Amino acid sequence: MGKILVFAEHTNGKLKRSSIELLHAGFNSGNEVAAVVFGTHGDDIVSALNQNGASEVHILKDGALDSYNPELYATNLISIIGKIQPAIILASASSVGKDLFPKIAARLNTGIASDCVSLNISGDNVTATKPMYSGKAIATVNFENSPIKIVLMRANQLPIESIDGAKSSKVVEHSLVASDLRTMIKEIVKGTSEKLDLTEANIIVSGGRGLKEASGFQMLNDLADVLGATVGASRAVVDSGWVGHGMQVGQTGKTVAPSLYIAVGISGAIQHLAGMSGSKVIVAINSDANAPIFQKATYGIVGDAFEIIPKLTEEFKKALHN
Ligand SMILES: Cc1cc2nc3c(=O)[nH]c(=O)nc-3n(C[C@H](O)[C@H](O)[C@H](O)COP(=O)(O)OP(=O)(O)OC[C@H]3O[C@@H](n4cnc5c(N)ncnc54)[C@H](O)[C@@H]3O)c2cc1C
């Protein structure tokens, strides 16, 4: 049985939940799991990787990798892959994953399945499923003639069960392989939100044109604060300039798969559904009982969002914080 390499993403040294899901999937397959982590981080990330199933941790601790740079990441990851020789690579279908791994697959002349929602590993064989045509069809993907099978998984699709992590961990430190960079990051302007990115969030409260104007989002922010949720939006309100594009969910925005998605004043256009129909529980709040979103919703509330949301917020506050 070949080795599984997990590309572990972290935020300031804290392992992302999506990477923990991949480590557990690898560990539970019975294959040996190696993890690779880039950039500056504390030593505790090694024990976190170990506890979540990695028996081998490859570190490339260099400030040059703190921000994603496609060429530098690709050159260095290919060099490490050459040393580890994994049979399977698991990574998140994050913006970094979706940019980086097609390059890796092309350079290694191997197969890649992106944006997957389920995964089955049996020895060196991998089967994954992925939505196609904005979620209208689900494709089952197998690999042929692929020396390494690369799978990019959407977040929140794989279970994190309590595991008795790997017994011992070998830690290998790598040095940066310099690369002739054609692009470089000069500045990163961070958003103001302290909340989890939409693609990582477990609960999302999303608003649409039914909120009437930008100030309508204040009540969603209040509800999100009570629930510990991240706020998303439909394209209609992004195009109107009420909120930034980083909050857009859908075909031309982010693909999300939280445990709970609350759609407020969103009609449920196919392009919006394409980004959120993988959510486990969908609650729709809309004044029009015939809005298409109700066909996808697990629970629906027909009514005026301006009456319902403040009441919901109050009730959740009582239930969760008393
Ligand atoms: C190529 C392409 C890509 C696209 N990509 C995306 C995408 O990524 N994401 C996306 O979201 N859209 C996308 N769209 C746009 C999409 O087709 C819809 O236009 C958009 O999703 C509609 O946004 P909405 O539901 O907020 O607005 P509307 O369709 O106008 O719906 C507003 C809803 O609010 C309800 N409402 C009104 N008042 C209230 C109230 N007081 N209380 C409760 N409910 C109320 C109404 O009944 C209605 O259902 C794309 C379109 C194209 C052509």
Q: What is the largest CA-CA distance in the chain?
A: 60
Under the banding of pLDDT at 50, 70 and 90, the label for residue 46 is: very high
Judge if 144 and 225 occupy the same domain: no
Judge if 18 and 165 occupy the same domain: yes
Under the banding of pLDDT at 50, 70 and 90, the label for residue 196 is: confident
What value does the mean pLDDT take over residues 242-259?
92
Residue 285: Cβ-neighbour burial (10 angstroms; 0-12, 13-18, 19+): buried
Judge if 146 and 267 occupy the same domain: no
Judge if 169 and 24 occupy the same domain: yes
For residue 85, is it within any domain? yes
Judge if 36 and 143 occupy the same domain: yes
Judge if 19 and 133 occupy the same domain: yes
Ligand 1 neighbour 216 (Cβ under 6 A): no
Is residue 57 within 8 Å of 80, Cβ to Cβ? no
For residue 61, is it within any domain? yes
Torsion of CA 98, 252, 271, 234, to 10 degrees: 120
Task: Specify the 3-state DSSP secondary structure of 243.
Answer: coil
- Tell me the pLDDT of the chain averaged across its residues: 93
Domain span including residue 58: 4-173
For residue 181, is it within any domain? no
Contacts of 280 (CB under 8 A, 6+ apart): 156, 257, 258, 259, 260
CATH of the domain at 167: 3.40.50.620
**Which is nearest to 47 in space by CA: 13, 21, 83?**
13
What separation in Å is there between the alpha carbon of 189 and the centre of ligand 1? Answer: 29
**Which is nearest to 262 in space by CA: 276, 280, 282?**
282
Ligand 1 neighbour 312 (Cβ under 6 A): no
For residue 187, is it within any domain? no
| Measured distance CA(106)–CA(95) in Å, rounded | 18
- The count of structural domains within the chain is 2
Which pLDDT score, from 0 to 100, does residue 182 have? Answer: 82
Judge if 153 and 218 occupy the same domain: no
Task: Specify the 3-state DSSP secondary structure of 253.
Answer: coil
Percent of the chain with pLDDT over 90: 81
Helix (H) / strand (E) element for 317: namely helix 305-321
- What would the DSSP string read from start to end of 120-175? EEETTEEEEEEEETTTTEEEEEE-SS-SSEEEEEPTT-S--------S--EEEE-P
For residue 230, is it within any domain? yes
Contacts of 112 (CB under 8 A, 6+ apart): 101, 102, 104, 105, 150, 151, 152
Under the banding of pLDDT at 50, 70 and 90, the label for residue 183 is: confident
**pLDDT of 174 above 80:** yes
β-bridge mates for residue 170, sequence order: 56
What separation in Å is there between the alpha carbon of 228 and the centre of ligand 1? Answer: 24
Nearest CA to ligand 1 atom 27: 209
Ligand 1 neighbour 304 (Cβ under 6 A): yes
Under the banding of pLDDT at 50, 70 and 90, the label for residue 193 is: low
Phi/psi for 164 (5° steps) reads: -85, 95
CATH of the domain at 245: 3.40.50.1220
pLDDT tens digits for range 274-293 = 999 989 999 999 999 999 99
Copy the structure tokens of residue 105: 């697959």
Ligand 1 neighbour 254 (Cβ under 6 A): no
Ligand 1 neighbour 302 (Cβ under 6 A): no
What separation in Å is there between the alpha carbon of 233 and the centre of ligand 1? Answer: 9
**pLDDT of 45 above 90:** yes
Judge if 163 and 207 occupy the same domain: no
Ligand 1 neighbour 271 (Cβ under 6 A): yes
Under the banding of pLDDT at 50, 70 and 90, the label for residue 227 is: very high
Half-sphere exposure of 232 (CA within 13 A, CB side): 32
What value does the mean pLDDT take over residues 101-107?
97
Judge if 140 and 219 occupy the same domain: no
pTM, entire model? 0.83
Ligand 1 neighbour 213 (Cβ under 6 A): no
Judge if 9 and 119 occupy the same domain: yes
Ligand 1 neighbour 220 (Cβ under 6 A): no
